[in-house]
Amino acid sequence: MRRAFDAATARLPHGWGDFGRQIAILVSVDLAYTFVRGIVDSERALAFAHGRQVIDFEQSIGTFFEPSLQAFFLPAQWVIDFANQIYLNAQFSVAIGFLLWLYLFRNESFYFVRNMFVVAMGIALIGYTVYPTAPPRMFPGYGFVDTLSAYSDVGHDSSLAKIFINPYAAVPSMHCAFAMMIGGTGVMVCRRTVSKVLWVMWPLLVSWVTIVTANHYWVDVVLGWGVALGALLVAQWLLARARPEAWAFRAKVPREAEA
């Protein structure tokens, strides 16, 4: 047991104190997410009104293609199963795994990316509070199918889904925001060309998944990418300038420059 603990300690770039601090920061933000989800759960009528506004907007400019795109893939059971699994795991399992890998093996870049995530989630919390929106899956009359409920053992009312899914958090799509931030970072920090190509594809795959599972409109995808861009700008032009020794994006960073 002692050897295992010592081996784990040796892998931590700045010791257990910094590692615990990073966990505490991310958990605190996640708790804020949970709190806001409890607020917007009571805004059902408003969320449905906003959802219809998004649909009306897309129809008005001739870009309401989501039902047709989903209908094209629905006959392929394995494709839908794949999309459902990506949707359930992209925002948390993949994001958490990537951040852990980044902390352990590209630590000099971790703190900048962590700041991006925190800023992005703060922006999203404002959006979810001000503009709660029912996702496409809640509008079957327009041809949408809730693939999680219809094609998998995990429905949106299950205990697992309630942990990971905010029912009225369609605008913006944080699945897409997370995927863009992860994909962009992966391209910057990975050394192999194959890895870079895979990370370029990741935001596109997640965007397709959110639409084909009827969890987001294309407008949400674009807004999610906008959130990622906004978080990048805040992290770069505000936070990194406030603490350049610790929060700037760099290839190498002194070990004492912790956050």
Termini Cα distance of the chain? 29
C-alpha span between 36 and 60 (Å, rounded): 31
Q: Where are the domains of the chain?
A: 18-247
Structure confidence by residue, pLDDT tens digits, 16-31: 899 999 999 888 887 7
Percent of the chain with pLDDT over 70: 83
State pLDDT tens for residues 56-105. Answer: 999 999 999 999 999 999 999 999 999 999 998 887 788 899 999 999 99
CA distance linking residue 30 with residue 87, whole number of Å: 18
Alpha-helical regions (H) of the chain: 2-11, 15-40, 44-60, 66-73, 77-89, 95-105, 107-130, 147-151, 159-164, 174-189, 193-212, 218-234, 240-242, 244-247
Alpha carbon distance 202, 60 (integer Å):
30
Q: Which two tokens stand for residue 90?
A: 């992209």
Q: Is 258 helix (H, G, I), strand (E, B) or coil?
A: coil
* pTM of the predicted model as reported, rounded to 2 decimal places: 0.88
Q: By mean pLDDT, which of 16-25, 113-122, 147-156, 212-221 is the weakest?
A: 147-156
C-alpha to C-alpha distances, 224 to 59, 211, 215, 245, 255, nearest whole angstrom: 20, 13, 13, 29, 33
- In this structure, is the dihedral angle defined by the CA atoms of residues 123, 185, 21 and 253, taken in order, positive or negative? negative
Quick one: DSSP state of residue 94? I
